[in-house]
């Protein structure tokens, strides 16, 4: 059992990758960052977290599909997000 109030798992800003359970990262991988992890939602079965998807058009909302999620545990990307977005914008400008 995970003690979410003391855990460093799925903290806001963590990078996660999701794939349909049937695909197992063979052809589909969707990246997201953890937006929030309300403790009340984490105590549910299954636990719930709020995710921010880089490409919302990739989201498949189908309650019958099970997903596998992995978390990158060594980096913290939320602090760099605004800089990376600004660099992307500069790359598109003529």
- pLDDT confidence of residue 88: 83
pTM: 0.70
What pLDDT score was predicted for residue 27? 94
pLDDT given for residue 62 in this prediction: 86
Residue ranges per structural domain of the chain? 15-92
Spans of the chain, pLDDT less than 50: none
Residues linked to residue 87 through DSSP beta bridges, in sequence order: none
pLDDT in tens, 59-78: 878 889 889 999 887 766 66
Residue the block writes with tokens 């605004």: 82
Summarize the chain as % helix, strand, coil (round to 5).
Answer: 25, 25, 55
């Amino acid at each position: 059992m995970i003690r979410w109030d003391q855990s460093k798992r799925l903290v806001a800003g963590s990078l996660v990758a999701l794939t349909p359970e049937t695909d197992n990262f063979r052809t589909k991988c969707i990246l997201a960052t953890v937006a929030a992890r309300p403790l009340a939602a984490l105590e549910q079965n299954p636990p719930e977290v709020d995710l921010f998807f880089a490409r919302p058009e990739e989201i498949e909302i189908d309650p019958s599909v099970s997903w596998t999620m992995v978390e990158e545990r060594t980096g913290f990307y939320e602090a760099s997000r605004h800089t990376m977005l600004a660099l992307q914008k500069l790359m598109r400008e003529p």
